[in-house]
Chains A and B, each alone.
Chain A
Amino acid sequence: MRYAETGYNLEIDLTTGNIERVETDPREVEIHLGGQGTAAKMLWHRVGPEVEPFSEKNLLVFSAGLLHGTPVPSATRTSVDTFSAQTGMYSHSLFGGFWGPELKQAGYDKIIFRGRSPKLVYLYINNDKVELRDASHLAGKGTLETAECLKEELGDLKTQVVAIGLAGENRVYMASMEHYNSSASRGVGHIMGDKRLKAIAVRGTKDLYVARPEELYDICTKQYKKIYDQGSSVMTHSHNERWHTDVFAWGFARERRRGFWNKELEEEWKAVTDSVFVRFNGCFNCPIDCHAAIQVPGQRPYIYKCYGKLTYAMAAYKDVKFNYEMLAVTTEYGLDSFSTPQVLAFAVELYDAGILTDKDLPNFPKDSGERFFYLVEKIVRRDGVGDALANGVYHAARQIGKGAEQFDHNTTKKFEQVPLKLGALNYPYFLMTATGAKMNITQIEGSFPQNPIPDPKRRKAFVDKWEAAPQRFKDYYMAWEPKTQPTIEAAVNIADWNETMHYIDDSVGICAFVSAFKGQFDKSSYHINNYPSFISPATGIDFTQEKLWEIARRNRTLIRAMNNRRGLRRKDDRPPEDHWKQRIPDVEQHLLDEFYKFKGWNREGIPTKEELYRLGLDYVADDLIARGILKEEESFEKEAVAVKEEKK
């Protein structure tokens, strides 16, 4: 008997229409947990570095988390994993809502798509009935509109739908997948479009068993209450936007406007929000209603979360009203609200600099807001210069040329970063931004506070009740004085802990918003200390902190190696040049050295044979060696000696 997982995946060949239900290996749970972890292993084995992201051989994998469908609260985030045409690298995103649990209830842990459909289709799953169906009537339809159409034609409101919009259909790199109140952004939507897959509609009514029901139930009901109590300060519920408007840069990630926010503005923006707000809502079996349903008169309704309220407004130097109107359009087109505003603001800068002209953008409006609406229409249709812009800032800059490359100042590994432009170099954040494989800092950071509390007494009080932290992080935090940097050793450990928590969350399917992202506020309901007490009774396998940490490290290392196989090296591990005003190149390189060493990677940032074998990833080591990417006997220390000798 399988516990917590169904034990079956769906393998869908879109080229031939073949559908298979495949039993999975129960031992994988102990090695990779599930979700992102098992998806990564599948991608390693089945998608070689020679496979182009836009090709039939690329896989698109939807993974419900290990804990989806169990009583564990807030287990809602489905992992989507593939290779991105934008970065040429491994691409990963997540979406919440109801879809993942419903997939488990239908009897499947994962759906693996390969090939490319000859025409636009959608996948319909109703328990054992799995069909690829014609989606020509849905072509060009919005994401939520598609869900509405499918529910109506299937005659079942309980069907859960994830869909792409026009952006995904046209393989726009910023395309997202949208489901109810959540979206998978960060480079997966364009692959769904390339596969000619418009949507997946799932309905499931089966049981899913856990190993020790009473024990799990008891801890879950307590956890549910705890999450509710800790989740009271949800950003969506607040009208005070001082933090976002102060900290993040406006325009094309160009300038900070400190002091922009004031009380009158708060009242003004609150009045706007009140006029379009419909209700807060949440995801399956989660007591935090951190999403807000919005209805702008004359536009389609949608649901947004958190900073999504401001990303377009700040990029266009507009207000919250503009942002609400913009989201109504971009949600239906299926566009990522982090990277898209960056691309739009980039195009505006190119126009203002004379690099894009009226020939490229005929009748280009004067107002920055109208410009954004204008550009979105061009991008989602890949119309004219929109075809280049649809490839994101990095590629568009090079396609447009004429000096546009100089404007590409906020990408890392060809991917748009959050608009952060700060003063002094921050050690852990340098490491996370430089090396993170989840592309957006929000998916890497979170467990360790971003600043020390100045008063040592209050700092001590925080540390004393800081549930989420293993002891060494409490020590690092106590030793951290304001306006100083944590030590290199501390920085390396902090960066590692931060990303480790996300690697656990994204394999078991728990939302980072009640876990990895909240450690810094001492409000993480899930953390390394209590995770085993949920995963063990659910799966019947005894997990410990150490074991989970090791699995996260294994999954992380595997993904690193996957990207190394596609060419990722040390030179690529660099944040945008202007991310911090003050840069210290030798310290940064030292940080990278120490981080690589800590992770068991060599000087080029490639996991060593020794480390890979230790993690049971011998097949990865053997492959890297066979390809000449890794040498047989290689470790960070040995290389350092070799480098020194060479210098002599």
Chain B
Amino acid sequence: MSVDEKKKKKVIKIDVDKCNGCRACEAICSAFHAEPKYSNINPEKSRIRVFFDPIRDVYVPVYASEYTGAECSGRGEFTIDEKTYDECCFCGASCPARDLFKDPDCGLPLKCDMCLDDPPQEEPLCVKWCLSDALTYEETDDDEEKEEPKDEMETGLKSLIEKYGFKKVMEILAEKEKTAKGKGAKEE
């Protein structure tokens, strides 16, 4: 995307009344983001999850937003239409208070990229495959100045730095570089 292009505000709108809990959004998201591509549908690696409590008729899809290093202070309960929701289920943060939106293999945070990953999709695939229309996609002009979206590696590194400190991360990276070079030398 060129820098001159007008920035768009991209939003997945969620209608909790229309969700039927099939979790196809989780399947398609994890397939698209799998390595190699489409190789599996591990919902734990999906950047959209359905908060699901059928006894209370709670079906809330929520997609992964920013990583946060600390859990929030208030976690209340919302009562909407006589139904009680945990505040958590409206929040897309990858946070230390829960195991949501973290890669189960390495623990790094997951974040929704609106399926602009290679190849970029016209709309997020979870929206495309939500045939009950619980998920819809909206693009609006965004006049606000925004920082460039970081790629996955940057987000991951940032979280490591926040957790362990810049120095520690650099030390480990330096160590890794040495080992890698050492190995390379041997192979040669």
Contacts and interface: CB of A to CB of B under 8 A. Distances in A.
Nearest to A301: B55
A583 interface: no
* Chain A interface mostly: loop
Interface in A260-313: 278-287, 289, 293, 295, 301, 303
Contacts of B17: 279
A521 interface: no
Interface centre among A144, A205, A208 (most CB of B within 10 A): A205
B24 A213 contact: no
Contact of A279 (B44, B45, B55, B59): B59
B24 A287 contact: yes
A70 interface: yes
Interface in A71-86: 71, 73
Interface in A141-165: 144, 148, 156-158
Contacts of B40: 69-71, 207-210, 213
A214 B119 CA distance: 13
B96 interface: no
B17 to A, nearest CB: 8
A274 to B, nearest CB: 15
B31 A303 contact: no
Contacts of A285: 22-24, 27, 41
Contacts of A303: 54
Nearest to A218: B38
How big is the B interface, by class?
20 to 34
Interface in A192-229: 205-210, 213-214, 216-217, 221, 224-225, 228
Contacts, number: 98
B38 A282 contact: no
A105 B27 CA distance: 12
Interface residues of A, number: 42
Contacts of B59: 279, 281
B184 interface: no
A283 B20 CA distance: 9
B83 to A, nearest CB: 10
A205 B44 contact: yes
A301 B22 contact: no
A228 B9 CA distance: 31
Contacts of B166: none
B43 interface: yes
A301 B54 contact: yes
Given A281-B59, A287-B24, 11 more contacts: A157-B51, A157-B52, A210-B39, A214-B37, A217-B38, A225-B131, A278-B57, A282-B22, A284-B27, A289-B20, A293-B54
Interface of B: 17, 20-24, 27-28, 31, 34, 36-45, 51-55, 57, 59, 99, 104-105, 129, 131-132
9 contacts: A71-B27, A71-B40, A105-B42, A156-B99, A157-B53, A213-B36, A281-B22, A282-B20, A285-B23
